[in-house]
Structure 1
Amino acid sequence: MKEYLLSIYQPDDTPPPDNLDEIMRDLYALNDEMRAAGAWVFAAGLHAPSTATVVRAQGNDMLVTDGPYIETKEHIGGFTVIQAADLDEALDWGKKMAAVITLPIEVRPLADH
């Protein structure tokens, strides 16, 4: 089985939807469904991009800066790592997640380790 990253993209500076409790309930149910199917590996939400710190090598020095690496209109708000037989199966889980949380989901295979 290959592993895939399901990245949740959300708009910056947008208040949470009024039905956030319902969305989270449905997301927990989807996580349970993925666990039961043997697909779920790990999931986590992330704090706002403003909490990020970037470490960059510059010659022999390290430059540390506040804020996200890239200024964008969207950011990764959370992610799930799954196991799937192939991309089609991973996309099926991504579609279910997009339906539950009503945000774009990027499905990307993890490099073999």
Structure 2
Amino acid sequence: MRYVILIYSNPESRRLWDAFPAERRREGLEAYAALNEALTASGELIAAEALAGPDTGRRVHVEAGRTTSTDGPFAEVKEVVAGFYLVECDGADRALEIAARVPEAAMGLVEVRPVTALSGFEA
């Protein structure tokens, strides 16, 4: 079964990261590298990406066949998606184990959701 592991950020988590000494930031990045390596080795990793800040996004609107876009972010929110993992694993318990290894899980900023196929479409 596929799961998306969403990693969130907020102003406080951003301030914490920026305040960490270089060694602590390096350890955080190494934790991600180790998780990526382990999931690749186990065959569970489908994709993992960090996302640029919400201020770099564009909102797209189509009306009467005309497409327009405006600068982001899409909505005013306290927390934004900062990155994600897409994994294929044996079930929700395993997805939660993987999510617990994401450094932001210590701050409650990680969410796990099953990926579901759209009705009438093959995934």
Q: Shorter-chain TM-score: which interval?
A: 0.7 to 0.9
Q: 2 CA distance for matches of 1:67 and 1:34?
A: 32
Matched, 1:30 2:29: no
* Structure 2 counterpart of 1:106, from 105, 111, 114: 111
Give the greater-gyration-radius structure (CA).
Answer: 2
Structure 1 counterpart of 2:60, one-letter code: V
Matched, 1:79 2:84: yes
Three-state SS of the structure 2 residue aligned to 1:73 is coil
1:8 corresponds to: 7
* CA root-mean-square deviation: 1.7
**Cα distance change of structure 1 residues 51 and 21 upon mapping to structure 2, 3 Å threshold:** same
Identity of aligned residues (%): 27
8 Å CA contact 1:12, 1:75 repeated in 2 = no
Structure 2 counterpart of 1:3, one-letter code: R
Q: 2 CA distance for matches of 1:88 and 1:27?
A: 20
Cα offset, 1:63, TM superposition: 2.8
- Number of corresponding residues: 110
- Between Structure 1 and Structure 2, the one with more helix by share is 2
Q: TM-score, normalised by structure 1?
A: 0.86
Q: 2 CA distance for matches of 1:88 and 1:36?
A: 19
1:67 corresponds to: 72
Q: TM-score, normalised by structure 2?
A: 0.80
- Between Structure 1 and Structure 2, the one with more strand by share is 1
